[in-house]
A and B are shown apart, each in its own frame.
Chain A
């Protein structure tokens, strides 16, 4: 099972091996989708994969250590009313979540493939891609 979570933590916690413990103690695969850390704390978007029980225990471990945990359904969203299907995003999306469909000429967005890296956000000329954090 896979789930995406947003973590909010204070500066002291930023120095602790949180992700390491998730991997080592709770047998989870951790994919860091986004991380912003500065002197007033940090925000991280993780994709956790593993057994449902392990994920639950991992999240409990985080909460117990004072990390704010919020599950998210999706990290990046496309506003289809804004997208002009230009295709600028296609060559910069590392996972091919944004791809050209030769049949329709449209650019498709496959959420499951998106790792919320965010590189498409400022590359999209009409600003159709947004990060939901």
Chain B
């Protein structure tokens, strides 16, 4: 990354966070969705775009497995130190203080019923439904109670907070299947003999693809999360910025990701859904939108990236290995066309992330900023570009040291 905060000072068109924030507060900011901005740049160039546009809004809605919510249920009388907790039959992790628990989106019940996992319970809560809470405990002098069976809702709990460790992947793979049987994967239903190919990124609308080196998306960035407002709190797990990139710097493989937090009580089922991937499990369909401040021309150039300039790799999911061979690289423009050529065959494509909802989110975020309901934040700390993504191998204690 060449531009630093210092070097751009005084450059024509360069703006500071403070200036953009003031414009938003005064109702004077020029805000465009990522799609509108790309059109604007096409007709007017990046220089004019950098001078005239203050914020670009991005959006994505897709399956985000590494999600979950924590709750504080309040204290019973006599009190209980919950050791095992179930919410509508799905176990929540309770190895925390007495009445706190974390419910993971992909958690299933003991029968592995995939139609109703942790994500579905979170959706039910967001829909305003009551959820059956059961807890057991061993009982202590200070927490004598040993079990409870009751109902809770977002109205009754103290905190209900969405806390996701890895969301909003910057680019993702394309999955296909050359074997002779249908594969059921987290990339959806993959028909045999290269019968289809699925991909899972909003492409040019996707937040991190518009800010490839995480200049404005970092710790403390305020985001649209599931219909409410939340924050980026850390790099996402498996953060991997060192993957191959295009000359413009756009990663060609899954690269960055973000850990996020937000109040579940603000969220809406329009942007938060329990999903079932047959024979894989449950996942959370989640909408995220991130505003990108156009600080200078370099930022305008990043946000001008279009689907024909964003590439990803096609993998054969019948190859059961963590390092599958890349079949080919392909652009999102090609994927969006509905058919791509793989091994000499025209293969129909499916997106797993909703372009319709991604657009809706970018539009909503734009409206919220224009109405002064959403303020952009300067990251308090940027992500490290040095992170590497390590595998897990079977090793001895000594080898692990």
Contacts and interface: CB of A to CB of B under 8 A. Distances in A.
B189 interface: yes
For A86, A87, A127, which residue has the most chain B Cβ atoms within 10 angstroms?
A86
B191 A104 contact: no
A88 B189 contact: yes
For A85, A87, A89, A126, which residue has the most chain B Cβ atoms within 10 angstroms?
A87
Interface in A99-126: 100, 102, 104-107, 119, 122-123, 125-126
A125 B285 contact: yes
Interface stretch (B49-57, B260-268, B269-277): B269-277
B338 A100 contact: yes
Contacts of B283: 125
Contacts of B351: 86-88, 90, 100
A52 interface: no
A66 B158 CA distance: 62
A122 B350 contact: no
Interface in B281-318: 283, 285
A125 B352 contact: yes
A84 B61 contact: yes
Interface in A68-109: 84-92, 100, 102, 104-107
Given A91-B348, A92-B189, A85 B355 contact: yes
A70 B20 CA distance: 65
A90 B115 contact: no
A91 B274 contact: no
A98 B351 CA distance: 13
B275 A126 contact: yes
A92 B277 contact: no
Contacts of A91: 191, 195-198, 347-350
Contacts of B347: 91
Q: Is the interface of B mostly helix, strand, loop or mixed?
A: strand
B83 to A, nearest CB: 33
Nearest to B351: A87
Interface string B349-360: 111111111110
B254 interface: no
A27 B347 CA distance: 37
Given A84-B273, A84-B285, A127-B115, A90 B350 contact: yes
Contacts of A105: 354-356, 358-359
Contacts of B188: 88, 123, 125
Contacts of A84: 61, 273, 285, 354, 356-357
A123 B278 CA distance: 7
Interface of B: 61-63, 115, 188-189, 191, 195-198, 273-278, 283, 285, 336, 338, 347-359
| Shortest beta-carbon contacts, A-B, top 3 | A91-B196, A125-B275, A91-B350
27 contacts: A84-B273, A84-B285, A85-B354, A85-B355, A85-B357, A86-B285, A86-B351, A86-B354, A88-B350, A88-B351, A90-B338, A90-B351, A91-B198, A91-B347, A92-B189, A92-B196, A102-B336, A105-B356, A107-B356, A119-B189, A123-B278, A125-B63, A125-B188, A125-B277, A126-B273, A126-B274, A126-B285
